[in-house]
Amino acid sequence: MAIPTLPSDIIIDILSRLPSKTLIRFKSVCKQWYSLINSSNFINLHLSQTLISQNFRNIIISHNSLFSSPISDNYTNPNFHFSELDHPIKQIPHFPNIIGSINGLLCISVYDKSSTSTFLYNPSTKTHRLIPPCPNENSEITHGYNTLTFVVVGFGFDSVSRDYKVVRMSQGYKNGVTVCHETSVYSLRNDSWKCVADQTMMGKSVFQGGMVVCVNESLHFIIVDTMSYYKFKVKCFNLQTETFSIFDLPKFDEKFSNVSCVMRELGGCFSVLVNYQNVMVRRGDRTLARVDLWVMKEHGKNESWFRLFSICDLAMFPHCVHMTPVVFSKDKERVLLELNNSSFGWYSLGRNTFERITVHGWPRKAACDSWTFLDSLVPLRKDKYTDNS
């Protein structure tokens, strides 16, 4: 009696809903499955299923190494269990910096012996790719004595060209004026760098911090317009057109003299969490007075800012001086918050409650930077880049 078999399209659909770790094991089932799971069409299907379902999400923290944990938004057991990743810069005894995360790929860098090495890394498949140094990385951007140099680096995906790109922006700043600037773009498809023009660089503006967030295939970072009483603005680099644009942040409460902004991608939208702090004059200690989370509903338009929540009663966050939004729960009813770069919890939007998460495997109880990444099969071969079009 013949054993009935499922139609191939049903088998493919079932496999596309499984985690990468399982699929990698299933490659050894037979030659047909090996070819299927390695194919570009299946890799794209698996990624699409994961993006839609929001299954297999992970949080990654960077300290002396890289540690990850599956994100559990289960109401009954929301624990995190971190374990160290076998990443490509594990043997370099320096703090790894996470530049960005897209489609399951991480862009990470490490500074070692007067040079910076940058890698693209897929934690699910454990494949990686070393990015060649930017030709302008070690060039003198300074323009005379007492010139400050600011550098920001971002990572994202261009769906039109099906290309992953790393963007490096550097700026020379002297006496309150920008004296020189350079923007270089690395293409994974071409494995090369090129320079692009920036027509939006204001004469008196400077990068604020090093965080760069990719939303809607545009890299976002904060600049300060020193001509407008240090007004903060958002500068965007469109990965498809490779052009810049600038728009305003939401209006801050001017009662507070100490304000810090944290940019994130939440639910596919560009989001900014504003930390308002009070400072004790005698001791210099800071306390968190209020937190606002703003979400941009219509990308790039100033009038589209929407305040998702404002927390004024901070009794549920004792000793917290700084918050960072991480990710929405799958039902969009809660936001995962990182407190003081050292603990996590779910904030309920409807009930205005906060539930701390028990964390296992936290490295040395130290402050860490956190990102999220999706499980994916997107390949990163050392010999060449395979386009998944």
**Same domain? 254 vs 370:** yes
- Answer yes or no: is pLDDT of 303 > 70: no
Q: How many domains does the chain have?
A: 2
Q: Is residue 209 part of a domain?
A: yes
Question: Is 321 contained in some domain?
Answer: yes
Task: Please count the other Cβ atoms lying within 10 Å of the Cβ belonging to residue 343.
Answer: 18
What angle, 0 to 180 degrees and rounded to 10, lies between the N-to-C axes of helices 8-15 and 31-38? 60
Give the CATH number of the domain where residue 196 resides: 2.120.10.30
Q: Is residue 384 part of a domain?
A: no
What does DSSP say about strands 66-70 and 83-84: parallel, antiparallel, or unpaired? antiparallel
| Same domain, yes or no: 251 and 194 | yes
Q: pLDDT digits over 165-181, tens only?
A: 999 988 777 666 666 67
The Cβ of residue 45 has, within 10 Å, a number of other Cβ atoms equal to 17
Q: Which of 24-28, 43-47, 110-114, 169-173 has the least mean pLDDT?
A: 110-114
Same domain, 28 and 119: no
Distance between CA atoms of 222 and 92, rounded to whole angstroms? 30
Question: Is 145 in the same domain as 244?
Answer: yes
Q: Looking at the domain assignment, is residue 1 inside a domain?
A: no
Separation of CA 182 from chain center: 23
Residues 154-163, mean pLDDT to the nearest whole number: 95
Has residue 3 been placed in a domain? no
Mean pLDDT over each residue of the chain, to the nearest integer: 83
How confident is residue 361, by pLDDT bands cut at 50, 70 and 90? confident
Q: Residue 109: enclosing H or E segment and its boundaries?
A: strand 105-112
Residue for token pair 């990443």:
87
Per-residue pLDDT tens for 195-221?
988 766 655 555 666 678 999 999 998
Phi then psi for residue 303, to 5 deg, are -75, 0
Contact present, 217 and 157 (Cβ < 8 Å): yes
**Domain co-membership, 17 together with 139:** no
In this model, does residue 297 exceed pLDDT 70? yes
List, in sequence order, every residue forming a beta bridge with 271; answer none if it has no partner: 264, 295
Same domain, 347 and 208: yes
Residue 159 and residue 209 share a domain: yes
Clarify whether residues 15 and 115 are in a common domain.
no
| Residue 389: predicted pLDDT | 44
pLDDT given at position 385: 41
The answer to the question of residue 386 being in a domain is no
Q: Does 8 have pLDDT greater than 90?
A: no
Based on the domain organization, do 23 and 58 belong to the same domain?
Answer: no
At 1, the pLDDT band (50, 70, 90 cuts) reads: very low
Work out the average pLDDT over 271-295. 81
pLDDT at position 179 = 62
Edge-to-edge strand list for the sheet holding 57-62: 83-84, 66-70, 57-62, 369-374
In a domain, 388, yes or no: no
Can you give the residue range of the structural domain that contains 70?
Answer: 47-374
- String of DSSP letters for 231-272: EEEEEEEETTTTEEEEEEPPPP-TT-SEEEEEEEEETTEEEE
274 and 348 together in one domain: yes
Answer yes or no: do 30 and 52 share one domain.
no
2 falls within a domain:
no
Tokens of 233: 């603005």
Identity of the residue numbered 196: V
* Judgement on whether residues 143 and 19 belong to the same structural domain of the protein: no
**Whose structure tokens read 């809607």?**
216
Cα–Cα distance for residue pair 327/70, rounded to 1 Å: 13
Helix/strand number for the chain, H first, E second: 4, 27
Name the pTM for this structure. 0.87
* HSE, side-chain direction, 13 A CA sphere, residue 230: 7
